Chains A and B, each alone.
Chain A
Amino acid sequence: MHYSFDIERGNFADAGQASSSVKRLLKQLGVAPPNIKRTVVALFEAEINAIAHAYGGKIDVDIDDGKIVMVVADQGPGIPNLDLAMQEGWSTASPQVREMGYGAGMGLPNIRKNTDELKIDTEVGVGTTVTMTVYFA
């Protein structure tokens, strides 16, 4: 099963709708609650990152019997130092993003913690693609 969602730059009012849709879908499919939680927390963090930092993008989700693969691809500034970005507490979030309750520097660490596989391709001035896999077995 394949699903796609668009991400609009700075649209915090609708932020989380893609993750919410995926959560409902996984519930309907009977996926175990702990796996739903891991999946949607990772996707939600990636969705928020793309809205907060990038200029728009797209989420592609593929679900089969044993796993979910989520690809969040944005057109944005890219991540100049990925090692730093993976550290807990390191953040470049704007004051507006912080007012929304984000920018604690926990986004990428949370994604790493909740996924079985994580791949981040980033190029400064071009964008970032985050590929996350969660196995349900």
Chain B
Amino acid sequence: MTIKDIAKLVDGELVGAPADDSYDVKKAFASDLMSDVLRFSMEETVLITGLCNNQTMRTSEMSDLRVVLIGRDKQPDEDMLELAEDLDITLIKSKFSVFKISGILYEAGIKPLY
């Protein structure tokens, strides 16, 4: 599934780095704990989180994440948006809860990381 298709499903807004239309998202992982994110391989994965700060970006960088879906209507500040662009990470902002986002993506065929 493309990043733009995911954004549509969660009524989301794309910010940060431009969405790469060739990037195929197959899996999702939901967590607000960044050390848990660092435990796993994140290829072809979207991170769903309510944690909205620079550490979300740094953790995503170390994990080779290309797309992060921020739920609960959290608003990234300018620093975070700049970092996302620098690191080539696309952010999807959604007003939905992390649980609702997870349910929508699961129903649409996105697989759990494990």
Show the binding face of A for B, using Cβ within 8 Å: 12-13, 15-16, 19-20, 23, 33, 37, 40-41, 44-45, 100-107, 110, 113
Nearest neighbor of B79 in chain A, beta-carbon distance = A13
Nearest neighbor of B58 in chain A, beta-carbon distance = A16
Q: How far is the CA of A41 from the CA of B54 in the complex (A)?
A: 16
List of B residues within 8 angstroms of A15 by Cβ: 54-55, 58
Q: How far is the CA of A107 from the CA of B56 in the complex (A)?
A: 16
List of A residues within 8 angstroms of B64 by Cβ: 33, 37
The 3 A-B pairs of least Cβ separation, nearest first, read A16-B58, A106-B35, A101-B34
B75 within 8 A of A: no
List of A residues within 8 angstroms of B62 by Cβ: 16, 19, 23, 37, 40-41, 44
Nearest neighbor of A44 in chain B, beta-carbon distance = B62
List of B residues within 8 angstroms of A110 by Cβ: 35, 38-39
B2 within 8 A of A: no
List of B residues within 8 angstroms of A101 by Cβ: 32-35, 51, 53, 55-56, 59
Expressed in whole angstroms, the minimum distance between the Cβ of B78 and any Cβ of chain A is 12
Q: How far is the CA of A15 from the CA of B83 in the complex (A)?
A: 12
Contact of B54 among A12, A23, A37 (CB under 8 A): A12
Report if A100-B53 is in contact (Cβ < 8 Å); known contacts: A13-B79, A23-B62.
Answer: yes
Sample of 19 further A-B pairs with CB below 8 A, known A15-B55, A37-B64, A40-B62: A13-B79, A19-B58, A19-B62, A20-B61, A23-B61, A23-B62, A41-B63, A44-B38, A44-B59, A45-B38, A101-B32, A101-B34, A101-B51, A104-B33, A106-B38, A107-B35, A110-B35, A110-B39, A113-B39
B17-50 Cβ-contact flags toward A at 8 Å (1 or 0): 0000000000000001111101101000000000
List of A residues within 8 angstroms of B36 by Cβ: 104, 106
Contact of B34 among A23, A40, A102 (CB under 8 A): A102
